[in-house]
Amino acid sequence: MPRNMSFSMTADQFRAKTKTVTRRLGWKFLKPGDLVNGVKKAMGLKKGEKIEVLYMIEIKSTRWEPLNKITKSDCVKEGFPEFEPADFIKMICAHYKVKPDVPVNRIEFEYIF
């Protein structure tokens, strides 16, 4: 059974399928070919709420790199074509309370239709 990966912060981009890369602080075990359920929210569900599966995705590649190595091209793949790398870094640092040089797992995926 595939694991659930939350896309709560980027649900709009994920639903629109404009997002093909995500950066995570974990998920070290992922490897190309793994199938994952992309969900709206996986944790902190209120009583009676259920996990909403948006799409199943297949992992294409993973690699660890500092957050501040993101490129403009990857901002587009993250679903933020209007962002410059500095904008994306600022958003992630504020949300997760991390420094710009934090190692992140860059995960590239494709949607399973």
What per-residue confidence (pLDDT) applies to 42? Answer: 67
- Cβ neighbourhood burial of 15 (10 Å; 0-12, 13-18, 19+): middle
Q: Which residue has the tokens 């640092």?
A: 93
- Tokens 């949607």 found at: 111
For residue 33, how many other CB atoms are within 10 A of its CB? 8
Domains present along the chain, CATH in parentheses: 3-112 (3.10.400.10)
What per-residue confidence (pLDDT) applies to 52? 80
What local confidence, expressed as pLDDT, does residue 88 receive? 98
Confidence of residue 1 (pLDDT cuts 50, 70, 90): confident
Mean pLDDT of the chain: 93
The CA–CA distances, whole Å, from 15 to 8, 39, 48, 111 equal 11, 10, 23, 10
Residue 45 has pLDDT above 80, yes or no: no
